[in-house]
Amino acid sequence: MADAITWGVLGTATIARKYVIPAIQSSGNGQVRVLGSREPDAARGVARKHGIQRVADGYDAVVNDPYVDAVYIPLPNHLHRVWVLRALNAGKHVLCEKPLALNAQEAKEMTEGARDADRLLMEGFMYRFHSRNRRIFQMAAHGRLGTIRLFRAAFCYRMDDALLTSGSNFRLQPAEGGGALLDVGCYGVSAARWFFGRNPAAVQAQAEYHVNGADIHFTGSLRFDGGGLAVVEASFTSALQQTFTLAGSQGVIELPHDAFIPWDKDTVFSVRDVDQESGETVTVPGADEYRRMVEHFADAALGRIPLEFYPEDSIRNMHVLDCLAEAARSGKTIRLHSEQNPVESP
């Protein structure tokens, strides 16, 4: 059995250049063989910096390379479906940036494509692989907080005024999967479902919209059967917020503003018992969550372990995002389809 896989990467997006390519190159079970770009001259500098053997003109050469085992897709959201399906049809495993798709129907089609091709497909929610979040999940699962009652998450940042004014960035283009909900709100929705272990029964939402039609300031509330509630905030127009709080009947866990992307420094969280105003600060050693994600995916592709969460979970997440978007547009409470299958857990 092989002890490593070869990767192909589609494009030179910031997330690929700064985080995922370095994570793959430093991993113990993978290496990037080819970087595909529609601007190959610019991509050659990235390839030289990271020791990538080959630069391809465009993306087809990557997905059709017989020596590539897995493809990483960091393209704009509206391109995920087409290139995921092409890579799967070419016999490649696929790790795709979040959100997996523009909507639940696309995610379902992509999941069926992976099943038909007998290949792995996973959405790149790297936060699930950080040791701090995994520790918090285990503490909650083992009753440290009692019954989980409330989850709050915020992932907000202020977009450059010139970008907001021009509206040219794909994050501000609805047809390209733009909007704060899909860009950063997807983290909070994913985490809420992870900690509650199921989809919500109903959602409500409010949003402010760019003149292009993309949501740029968003709040959503989620109601879970059994009495659990969640609040998710996402914004392109507020100061930095990147945190979550998990409150139970017997305690609370709170994170500083590095909840989803803590880089590789040591991390902390606080735990308070039911009546405490101040509690214990817990320190967790730093970790590269991107590297842990790609190593997990490579081990699964090598047949050593199962994936920790499957694309079926991404369909459920997209279903909630679809309903939140509808709730914000309509001003109505949206009740979800019956989706109570447990969320995959570590």
What confidence tens digit (pLDDT) does each residue in 228-279 have?
999 999 999 999 999 999 999 999 999 999 999 998 899 999 999 999 999 9
pLDDT band at 338 (very low <50, low <70, confident <90, very high): low
Q: Which of 311, 297, 303 is nearest to 30 (CA)?
A: 297
Per-residue pLDDT at 337? 76
Q: What is the pLDDT of residues 68-86, one digit of tens each?
A: 999 999 999 999 999 999 9
What is the tens place of the pLDDT at every residue in 297-324?
A: 999 999 999 999 999 999 999 999 999 9
**How many Å is the Cα radius of gyration of the chain?**
20
Contact predicate 219/231, CB 8 Å: yes
Report helix angle 186-196 to 311-330, nearest 10: 120
Could you tell me if 148 and 250 are in contact, meaning their C-beta atoms sit under 8 angstroms apart?
A: no
Instruction: Show the domains of the chain with their CATH numbers.
Output: 5-126 (3.40.50.720), 127-335 (3.30.360.10)
Query: CB–CB of 199/316 below 8 Å?
Result: yes
> For residue 341, is pLDDT > 90?
no
Predicted TM-score (pTM) of this structure: 0.95
The residue length of the chain stands at 346
Residues 6+ apart with CB under 8 A from 53: 33, 34, 47
Sort strands 54-57 and 30-37 into parallel, antiparallel or unpaired: parallel
User: In whole angstroms, what is the distance from residue 242 CA to residue 340 CA?
Assistant: 28
How many C-beta atoms surround the C-beta of residue 221 within 10 A? Answer: 17
Token pair 């085992």 is found at: 69
Mean pLDDT of the residues in the chain: 95
User: What share of the chain in percent tops pLDDT 70?
Assistant: 97
Over the stretch 89-136, which tens digit does the pLDDT of each residue have? Answer: 999 999 999 999 999 999 999 999 999 999 999 999 999 999 999 999
Which residues does 257 contact at the CB level (< 8 Å), separation at least 6? 240, 241, 242, 243
